[in-house]
Amino acid sequence: MNIIAELRHDFPVLSQSIEGQPLIYLDSGATSQKPQSVIDEINDFYSKNNSNVHRGLHSLSENATSKYEYVRTQLAKFLSVNSKEVVWTSGATESLNIIASGLTCDLNSQDIILISALEHHANIVPWQQAAQESGAKIAIMPINKQGILDIPAAIAMIEDLKPKVMACTHASNTLGNINPIAKLIDAAKKVNAITVIDGAQAFLHLRPNLSQLDCDFYVGSAHKALGPTGLGFLYGKFKKLNALSVFKTGGEMIDKVTYESSSYREAPAKFEPGTPNISGVLGFGAAINYLNKLDPIVLHQYEQTLYSYCLNQLQAIDGIIIYGDTQNNIGTISFNYRDEHHYDIATLLNSYGIALRSGHHCTQPLIAELGIQGTLRVSLAFYNSHNDIDTFITALKSSIKLIAG
């Protein structure tokens, strides 16, 4: 674990102070911090290699193109898939929009789109749009009072409704629940449903093997996995990916253009029009390199130890209410203190240098099902420490004391 402690020094933002207090960053679910190697890679591109990709024969362009496509290969290997099945997008949100939009023309009024009650708005609203345009119906896989997906009920819905699409998060951004998506994917495959998995929260903590999961589509965001903002990926089985209708048009994704008509290239180019986020891709490559040098088992064990330590400390405070699955969790804790507003506590915690999230976390339907207005959310990563937790708990107790008067 001493090796883990040393990794913290790779993240320059963690050394600063907020409100005169050392920064305690507990908001990695919103965006992870970036190691210096990622920052250096982005700076290096703009200072030494800045050029467009796939367009020039000069050395700068060829070097940029080579590095850009190498990162696609890196990510494909990380996910255990073929590089032709990896599309660069602006983030998980755009990836889900590409899938939903691309499937709309294949949906009709007899079709069911099945999603879970845990979904981020990005895995709800695109399906609502698809349903409105196609006439398809949306059904919801239920959760229990604690906010845990009811797996027997979900599988029964898959078997009974035989949905055209089953879309589900791998891990909840609000509660941290790890869903048993292998079971859901297996059930969905038996009824020939298209499976779409939101892996934005799971990618960093679970390192999914997509060949084993055998889902049709899987999406993620670089910035939640040590990489830069404004970049994400869309994985799709090659035939399923190419069967999607075009989402955006422009240069690079075309095969031939005349004034009368156009034809398009195969994936992944089909979904990558215009100049891409080149620096973002290269920065994400540095993030993947960083992760590849670390033992995933050691990191996972450390994160789970840290999570348990934080959970136990919170549960020891009278009046704390914790939501979600505390047994199968990526390291995220959503909680409230009695009936106090989460915003007030978060504001006080900020004065102690504690950075965490408060609100509905872009999961308004989930929050409504839990019968609350929102939560405070602690989302951990391997660069956090036990000292971070101790400082947070001390600040929380002080904040509660101030509020309770």
362 has catalytic annotation: yes
d(CA 274, CA 287): 24
Q: Which residue has the tokens 């996995």?
A: 225
- Buried b / exposed e over 159-185, threshold 16 CB at 10 Å, is eebebbbbbbbbbbbbbbbbbebeebb
Token output for 31: 């965006």
Cα 338 to Cα 358: distance, rounded to the nearest angstrom: 15
Quick one: CA dihedral 18, 22, 28, 33, positive or negative? positive
- The amino acid occupying position 146 is Q
Residue with token string 């308004």: 364
Four-point Cα dihedral 237, 112, 99, 120, nearest 10: -110
SS3 label, residue 139: strand
Return the residue matching tokens 């939903």: 100
* Marked catalytic residue, from 168, 215, 310, 362: 362
357-359/194-198 β-pairing: unpaired
End-to-end CA distance of the chain: give it in Å, rounded.
40
Q: Report which DSSP code applies to 45.
A: I
- Supply the DSSP string of 11-28, one letter for each residue: -GGGG-EETTEE-EE-BT
* Total number of residues shown for the chain: 405
Query: What value, to the nearest 5°, has the Cα angle with vertex 148 and ends 123 and 167?
Result: 25
Q: In what order do the strands lie in the sheet with 137-141?
A: 86-89, 232-236, 217-221, 194-198, 165-169, 112-116, 137-141
Which residue type is seen at 184? L
- Residues marked active site are found at 362
